[in-house]
Amino acid sequence: MRSNSKNKQLDLFQDSEFISSEEKHPEALITQYNHAALFNKLAKSTFRSKFHLTAKDKIYIHDKGLVTIQKHASDFIAKRLAPAIIPNDGKQTPMHGHPVFMAQHATGCCCRGCLYKWHQIPSGRILSAQEQEYIVSVIITWIKRNS
């Protein structure tokens, strides 16, 4: 079943009253969105498929738990991706150091350029709370699938 991307974008944000992603349990955030088509597309990208969690990342995720990892993701997205103007856009997401960074590269959520290319979210404006929640759900879904 394929709908055109404009309708899909609308459907994505239509449901339910908005609750901050930090207040939602990771499992709720994972099941709220259907990322199947996105993950199929990402799997076909050689570049995006290169990113994997390290053994250290996996231990960190296990120790902290998904609730905490999700809080980190919300925080990183709010500070590094949500502003309208990001002076170092394209370079703001490190290649190592936190599993969320790896997930961002793997899912095209690393900078506003990639966010537009992979998720059709335009750059040059502040990300809405709903958009930030969507991005966090993509990240947490990838981490769950890969840890």
Whole-angstrom Cα Rg for the chain: 14
Q: How far is the CB of 47 from Zn ion (least distance, A)?
A: 10
Judged by CB under 5 A, which stretch of 41-49, 55-63, 111-119, 133-141 contacts Zn ion?
A: 111-119
Distance of CA 5 to the CA centre of its chain: 18
| Of the candidate residues 81, 114, 135, 140, the single one contacting Zn ion (CB under 5 A) | 114
Q: How far is the CB of 118 from Zn ion (least distance, A)?
A: 9
Residue 110 contacts Zn ion per CB under 5 A: yes
Cβ distance to Zn ion smaller for residue 110 or 140: 110
Residue 109 contacts Zn ion per CB under 5 A: no
Residue 103 contacts Zn ion per CB under 5 A: no
48, 107 Cβ separation under 8 angstroms = yes
| Of the candidate residues 69, 111, 121, 143, the single one contacting Zn ion (CB under 5 A) | 111
Interface residues with Zn ion (CB under 5 A) are 110-111, 114
